[in-house]
Structure 1
């Protein structure tokens, strides 16, 4: 009996020793990431932060070490703000159900063809799992801000009316046009593009292909504008050009331009009823900005935040 107990004890000790050695080897091979930030009960590991920061930078962000450190500190401040909000969500029990999570993912996935989605992941240096985590985290943050920071905001009809009377001149709108433009560096290039358009090339497509103006990606769309908002050379053409007709080449200090007028708006003396929704949206945006700033400051004042600066 004594011998059997001794064998059993030795066997137990041998197994325990092997397990301890394997555990030690695993810890040496896979060291735990150091904690960079603690925000209340939440942590950001150094490895997680470095990976997120690397994805945050673009290929063009090859900067001096001093500038890189400034960018890193700014990014860290953003991460701390996110953790403050997520900590508030934890305390308030604000979470997305499984069904809500799948709905959010499906809503964003539908904007991409399969190949486009994979291309987006590669461009942003993401795996699908990380993309999903960030997406759902962002949605949870939005829900938390909406409930906890914006929940008490009310825009009364009186506030809308007071704003309208105080800013009455803002709602006297001059005649406006909506136009597209194509800008070329040389006159010969302009004539060639004009010829292609007259042969059937869509104006917006031509703008995307050939225009050197920043609005080229939007098909040259300048939006609505009134007299005096654009250079005089523009106004002299677009306010006389019939809708749907393409201008001749117009020379300016920026190059050579082609214009297409798509819509016109007559001068308007807008009423309160016509602009009340616009005013309410404007007032809500102002109140939300102030409420968010004050709420975040309150969270920061109540939180325990620890940063291991030696890791950066």
Structure 2
């Protein structure tokens, strides 16, 4: 299939949302207070939890360069509230079914989370900022793992894909299995900043010309890349792996796709500076055979089924649950 993600499971979305919304302490079980946005079978979800959840989502959008307007923020609040309700319903169901997770598994997950911080102080500061203790965090991690195990037992393990389904999808969606021409390239980059003056450009040009001369004399491309290239790929001898058209800047793409395997370009100028490109191998455009695509295809089809079944499972929990929305009910 095409090398892109074709679907997302609702489970990782829910679990991801849960951990993104862990910046406040658990609400106590009691009657609705003035700051409650929902009560799920007696369990409160507070305005603070909702606000923190929305803020987490806003930060994710900002990192992608997306700034929602007021209408979009209102819709986002509704979405986050429904996610919180779903998470609470799944958590309650996991407890009803007596699902357990080993303390060691929780500990391993906590250790992995802590390792993402630069040091103990950064970790402690993050907990303090979110008004949490490590014990609170462990409880939340455990809750997320319980939900994950519940969905695994009740949905994922029960979903199957037959060979007939898989082959039918392959036959009915031929475009999904077209693989475009690809080239496996390495390069050496002498970087030139966008605001560089003539003297800096001249110096960079001289450096890339000297490297090209050395290559023509038979020096090793990978060794020169490691020594001179300004691209992170230098650590792999300049190896960029396989690329398709449209994945890099046009001058580089044109040079790479014009070369035959084993050939080296002249000097290629792009917005990043000066390059020398070498093509290692090429793959022509083709249709991926069913036998080669089957494993990833079966996974895709199962993912789609699981997504739909998890949605149905949650709807079933909602049907049998008492979900109150005090603020919305008051506004009616």
Task: State whether TM-score is above 0.5.
Answer: yes
Report which structure shows greater RCO (CA 8 Å, sep ≥6): 2
User: Corresponding residue for 1:266?
Assistant: 283
Matched, 1:94 2:116: no
The gaps in structure 1 that reach 5 residues or longer are 1-31, 208-219
SS in 1 for 2:158: coil
User: Could you tell me how far apart the structure 2 residues matched to 1:63 and 1:123 are?
Assistant: 29
Q: 1:78 aligns with which of 64, 78, 83?
A: 83
Cα distance 1:81–1:43, how it changes in 2: closer, same or farther (>3 A)? same
Distance 2:321 2:239 in 1: 47
Name 2:37's counterpart in structure 1: 36
Deviates more, 1:155-164 or 1:242-251: 242-251
Give the secondary structure class of the aligned counterpart of 2:183. Answer: strand
Name the counterpart of 1:163: 169
Paired residues of 1:186 and 1:256 also in contact (CA < 8 A): no
CA contact (8 A) 2:233 2:239 kept: no
Give the superposition deviation at 1:51: 4.9
Query: In 2 relative to 1, CA 226–45 (structure 1 residues): closer, same or farther, beyond 3 Å?
Result: closer
Superposed CA RMSD: 4.5
Q: Does 1:308 align with 2:309?
A: no
The 5-angstrom pairing of residues 242-281 of structure 1 reads: 248-251=267-270, 255=271, 264-267=281-284, 268=286, 270-281=288-299
Deviation at 1:167, TM superposition (A): 3.5
Uncovered stretches (5+) of structure 2, i.e. residues with no partner:
1-32, 212-223
Aligned match of 1:237 in 245, 251, 255?
255
Pair 1:266–1:183, CA change in 2 (3 A): farther
Q: How far apart, CA to CA, are the structure 1 residues paired with 2:72 and 2:176?
A: 42
Q: TM-score, normalised by structure 2?
A: 0.60
For residues 127-173 of structure 1, what are the alpha-carbon distances to aligned partners after superposition, in whole Å with 9 as ceiling and x for unaligned?
A: 45354344333322222222223232002223223333333454453
Q: How far did residue 243 of structure 1 move?
A: 6.8
Q: Which moved more, 1:55-64 or 1:166-175?
A: 55-64
Relative distance call for 1:155 and 1:62 in structure 2 (3 A) is: closer
> Contact between 1:238 and 1:261, CA under 8 Å: does it hold in 2?
yes
Q: Measured at CA, do residues 63 and 281 of structure 1 come closer, stay the same or move farther in structure 2, by a change above 3 Å?
A: closer
Distance 2:130 2:280 in 1: 42
Higher mean displacement: 78-87 or 268-277: 268-277
The alpha carbon displacement at 1:246 in A equals 7.7
Query: For the residues of structure 2 that align with 1:116 and 1:263, how far apart are their CA atoms?
Result: 47
Structure index of larger Rg:
1
CA distance in 1: counterparts of 2:144 and 2:55, whole angstroms = 19
- Distance, in Å, in 2 between the alignment partners of 1:263 and 1:120 is 48
Question: 2: CA distance between counterparts of 1:225 and 1:123?
Answer: 45
Among 288, 298, 311, the alignment partner of 2:316 is: 298
C-alpha spacing 1:172/1:76, structure 2 compared with 1 (3 Å): closer
Note the alpha carbon deviations across 1:60-111, whole angstroms, 9 max, x for none: 6998776654443332222112112212222222232323322322344345
Query: Secondary structure at 2:101's aligned position in 1?
Result: coil
Note the 1:38-57 alignment, pairs <5 A: 38-54=39-55, 57=58
SS in 2 for 1:93: coil
User: Which of 211, 220, 231 is 1:204 aligned to?
Assistant: 231
Structure 1 residues 170 and 107 mapped into 2: Cα distance closer, same or farther (>3 Å)? Answer: same
Does the 8 Å CA contact 2:184/2:241 hold for their aligned counterparts?
yes
